[in-house]
Amino acid sequence: MSQLETATHSETLKRVVIEPLTRVEGHGKVTLLLDEDNHVHQARLHIVEFRGFEKFIQGRPYWEIPVLVQRLCGICPVSHHLAAAKAVDMLAGARQLTPTADNLRRLLHLGQILQSHALHFFHLSSPDLLFGINDAVAHRNIIGVIADHPDLGLQGIRLRKYGQEVIRIISGKRVHGTASLPGGMNKPLSLQHRALLLADIDQIITWSKGAVDLIKKVYLTNTDFHQRFGLIQSNMLSLVTTDGAMDLYHGGLRAKSANGKTIFDHIDYCHYHQYIHEEVKPWSYMKFPFIVSQGNEVGWYRVGPLARINNCDYITTPLAEIERQEFRAHANGGLVQASLAYHWARMIEMLYAAERIREILLDPVSTGTDIVAQGEEKSLEGIGVIEAPRGTLIHHYLVNDSGTIEKANLIVSTTNNNQAMNESIRQVAVEYLDGQTLTEGLLNHIEVAVRAYDPCLSCATHALGKMPLSVELVNHKGKLVDCLIKSSTGEITK
Amino acid sequence: MQLEEQTITIDGQKIPFQSGQTIMDAALAAKIYIPHLCYHPEFKPHGSCRLCTVMVNGRYESACTMPSVAGQEILNNTKELNENRRALTQMLFVEGNHICPGCPKTGNCQLQAVAYYVGMLSSHYQHFYPYRDLDPSHPDYVVDFNRCILCELCVRASRDVDKKNIFAISGRGIKAHLIINSPSGKLEDTDFAVGDKAAFVCPVGAILRKRTRYTTPIGERLYDKQSIRIVGDSQQLHAGATKYGRK
């Protein structure tokens, strides 16, 4: 068990709660247990939402799933839609898409990456980075950014708008549209829409490059602080292509250890469950995944922009590749482990997304009309893995002969980062809060550590029936009368 | 001698009718929309959904069952009647499990289109959230009882056109529900077939073709561009048909 995960005598400690966590997607809280001298004995990130998607899609027809499960999230629904669509392709026996459909799905996904990364950087995180963690609360927000840096604020809004526009054109709506069918897409890209997107893409690339320059400047201006803040040493997991390039839509699984050595590489994601297991802890609705060969104590890992930029051998687009090389030069031969480097990596990915969007729009294949592949060998098991904005996203479904879902397992990006986020807040708690009189600014340090991961807490709490539960009956004098405990296996004891 | 044309008046507009026509028949022939869900011109009127209730000479009557009689003064598109229709539609929504965002029929659904027409912005009433099963047993069709609104169009189509009598309503009052006439109660144990009339008449997403859903892009679905008042009923759609995808 990690240091500071569970205090030995919690009943004697005072409890500080940061709730709600602000400027993250979804609802969560952090609890700290401190002694009389404000020394930290326990720090935990809790996810207080409950969703239950894995359970209530059981019994539904599989062809409804990509549209149903995208409702997991309002920020990254496209990622869930496409991960489920890839799984449904397998169920329908149509894994090999037509080149046009493949391009359209990638375009849709890149629009999602662009809008989500722009939202997180400009709207949620830039106030901390531009104004400092201790800045006045009333000023430390997107309104403050627009007031002090109107051009920058507007760029953030327009970058996000462009990504949303890509999504609208491909899927019919900016949020929760319909696009993927088993084996393809439901609509080709018209020449008119292609021209509409091409008209602004150069500006979008320029602004994305500007965002990389900005975060790089901020990060390197106070390098020591940014490298140490929330620093943890972790394994990293992401998809890469067969030649090691970063790919956000498809690829094999690659995991590297904290020192940069390869743990596994080019693993067919259909075998993910042989390499990744999930641990359940009694105090959280969110599961804790780990790499099997490393064990649950040290096998936890990070996903998302930091992992992807660290793990890949190169990026296929020229501007983003230059930035990747500069980023990786700060790793001294290993991996960049600074938690705040997530922001830098995220902006490199946004630049990549903008460049790839242009490439796909200029590809004549993208406006083809052959967009549905016919299924051949149908399967009763479908697995779809994609690199969502926040990291590796796994959808796994088992269906019966009638085509309805028997079982679903979703390992969501934020879930993959669960242990890492907890480790980061513990590091920050010890570094900045231990023994201090707590102030809002100090508590914001904790939130800044969580925010670096861009967690989507709504996405991450979808399981049902696997969580350990303890019910205590306490009388009016506060004395424990009875206690019922359900273990993670479902066994109930008194 | 030429017979004088017989007319009724709907919301002040005189329209002709032929002998034997109901108010609904005459209204539709004159392109006047009266909201309805259980009415279908090919089947004997049922009068159960009550959405087509109009005021005929001061009395409430269902337009789909009330014969046209010369000189009738009919009120249809009034605030009071539309408010009643909205309440009825809200009740239909809360009695079943109509989750439009995930339903394959969304955009092509008559219940959803009527809800938009009558200005329904919320369910208003407390949801029943009934536990209803799904019957995916048939190789080509799935029956989702969650979405059934008891219009009996499938019952009538299977009985009167297909001559198979596959569907029926069991139970009374709030316990009324759609059943399948087979020893197992499953669709796979009937001779239900792809070309059956009953396969095409469901106004909601209760009887749907398997695997071929969401094929029509948003923006091109039946009710995306125009109101049901203009477009008419959803039965004109053939399940799975699409401009781009497979059928």
Could you confirm whether domain B82-236 is CATH 3.30.70.20? yes
Cβ–Cβ contact B219 with A under 8 A: yes
Q: Which residues of A touch B146 (CB under 8 A)?
A: none
Count other C-beta atoms under 10 Å from residue A442's C-beta: 16
Please say whether the structural domain B7-77 has been given the CATH code 3.10.20.740. yes
Q: What is the DSSP string of B45-105?
A: ----S-TTEEEETTEEEETTTSBP-TT-EEE-S-HHHHHHHHHHHHHHHHHTT--GGG-TT
Q: Are B198 and B157 in contact (CB under 8 A)?
A: yes
Reported as a pLDDT band with limits 50, 70 and 90, residue A480 is: low
pLDDT of A224 > 70? The answer is yes
Q: Are residues B73 and A38 in contact, defined by beta-carbon separation less than 8 angstroms? A: no
Residue A177, token pair as written in the block: 């549209």
- Among B135, B139, B140, CA closest to B167: B135
Q: What SS3 state is found at B170? A: strand
Residue A424 confidence (pLDDT) above 70 = yes
Question: Which of A5-9, A327-331, B48-52, B135-139 has the weakest average pLDDT?
Answer: A5-9
Phi, psi of A380 (to 5 degrees): -95, 5
Buried/exposed A457-482: b ≥16 CB within 10 Å, e otherwise: bbbbbbbeeebbeeeeeeeeeeeeee
Q: Half-sphere exposure of residue B194, counting CA atoms within 13 Å on the CB side?
A: 8
Virtual torsion, Cα A329, A332, A333, A338, nearest 10 deg: -80
Question: Is some CB atom of chain A closer than 8 A to the CB atom of B235?
Answer: no
Q: Which residues of A touch B209 (CB under 8 A)?
A: none
Ordered alpha helix ranges (H), A2-134:
53-56, 65-69, 77-91, 99-118, 126-131
Chain A contact set for B102 (CB, 8 A): 64, 67-68, 71
Report the alpha-carbon distance of residue A131 to residue A144 in Å, rounded: 9
- A186/B216 Cβ within 8 A: yes
B-chain CB neighbours of A374 within 8 Å are 246
Rounded CA separation A164/A444 (Å): 30
pLDDT value of position A280: 86
The CA distance from B122 to B125, in Å, is 9
Give the per-residue pLDDT at A190. Answer: 97
**DSSP string across A224-264:** HHHHHTT----EEEEEE-TTSBB-SSS-EEEEE-TTS-EEE
Geometric angle at alpha carbon A487, from A483 and A489, rounded to 5°: 155
A402 to B136: CB separation less than 8 angstroms, yes or no: yes
Mean pLDDT to the nearest integer, B220-234: 90
Residue among A190, A182, A25 at smallest CA distance from A107: A190
Q: Do A172 and B218 touch (CB under 8 A)?
A: yes
With vertex at residue A472, the alpha carbon angle to CA A469 and CA A473, rounded to the nearest 5 degrees, is: 150
CB contact under 8 Å between B213 and A63, yes or no, is yes
B101 touches chain A (CB under 8 A): yes
Can you tell me the mean pLDDT for A295-312?
Answer: 96
Inter-chain touch B218–A59, beta carbons under 8 Å? no
Domain spans, chain B: 7-77, 82-236
Specify the amino acid at residue A252.
Answer: G
In the chain, the amino acid numbered B89 is: T
Q: Which two tokens stand for residue A257?
A: 């250890």
CB A487 within 8 A of CB A493: yes
Instruction: With beta carbons less than 8 A apart as the criterion, state whether A7 and A16 touch.
Output: no
pLDDT at A140: 86
Q: pLDDT at position A393, please?
A: 96
Give yes or no for residue B134 having a pLDDT over 80.
Answer: yes
* A334-383 residue pLDDT tens: 899 999 999 999 999 999 999 999 999 999 999 999 999 987 778 999 99
Q: Which two tokens stand for residue A478?
A: 């506060």
Name every residue whose Cβ is closer than 8 Å to that of residue A364 and which is 6 or more positions away in sequence: none
ipTM tops the 0.90 cut: no
pLDDT tens for B21-40 read: 999 999 999 999 999 999 99
Interface probe for B, chosen from A63, A90, A399 (most Cβ of B below 10 Å), is: A63
Give residue-wise pLDDT tens across range B67-122: 999 999 999 999 999 999 999 999 999 999 999 998 999 999 999 999 999 999 99
pLDDT at residue number A378: 84
Give A318 to chain B, closest Cα distance, Å: 35
* Chain B residues within 8 A of A60 when measuring between CB atoms: 134
Q: Which of A88-97, A432-441, B139-148 has the lowest mean pLDDT?
A: A432-441
Sequence length of chain B is 247
In this complex, the residue of B101, B211, B219 whose CB is nearest that of residue A63 is B211
Q: How far apart are CA A56 and CA A62, in angstroms?
A: 13
Determine the Cα–Cα distance for residues A60 and A67; give it in Å rounded to an integer.
Answer: 12
Q: Is A346 exposed, middle or buried (CB count within 10 Å of its CB: 0-12, 13-18, 19+)?
A: buried
| Other CB atoms within 10 A of residue A491 CB | 9
Under an 8 A CB cutoff, do B211 and A184 touch? Answer: no
Contact (CB<8Å) A369/B219 = no
Mutate to test the interface with B, among A181, A192, A379 (most CBs of B within 10 A): A181
Nearest-CA neighbor of B166 among B182, B153, B152, B145? B182
Chain B positions in Cβ-Cβ contact with residue A173 (cut-off 8 Å) = 218
Give me the residue label for tokens 């004159």: B30
Show residues of chain A in contact with B218, CB under 8 Å.
171-173, 177-178
pLDDT band at A191 (very low <50, low <70, confident <90, very high): very high
Is residue A423 predicted with pLDDT exceeding 70?
yes
Contacts of A55 in chain B (CB under 8 A): none
Chain B nearest-CA residue for A170: B217
Chain A contact set for B134 (CB, 8 A): 59-61, 404
Q: How many Cβ pairs within 8 Å bridge chains A and B? A: 67
**Angstrom distance (rounded) from CA A51 to CA A62:** 19
- All residues of chain A having their beta carbon less than 8 Å from the beta carbon of residue B142 are 61, 403
Mean pLDDT, residues A148-172 taken together: 96
Which domains does chain A possess?
A: 10-48+421-463 (no CATH), 53-419 (1.10.645.10), 470-494 (no CATH)
* pLDDT for res B5: 81
Residue percentage of chain A with pLDDT more than 70: 90
- CA dihedral A215→A221→A224→A227, nearest 10 degrees, is 10
| Disruptive mutation site among A62, A180, A187, A193 for chain B (greatest number of B CBs within 10 Å) | A187
Cβ-Cβ contacts under 8 Å for B108 (sequence gap 6 or more): B216, B221, B222, B223, B234, B237
Identify the three-state secondary structure at position A398: strand
* Closest Cα in chain A, distance from residue B174 (Å): 25
Judged by a CB distance cut-off of 8 A, whether residue B59 touches chain A is no
Phi-psi label, residue A382: left if phi above 0, alpha if psi -120 to 50, beta otherwise:
beta
Query: Partners of A474 in the beta sheet?
Result: A480
Quick one: closest CA in A to B106, which residue? A178
Residues in chain A: 494
- Decide: B21 and B68 in contact? Cβ < 8 Å: yes
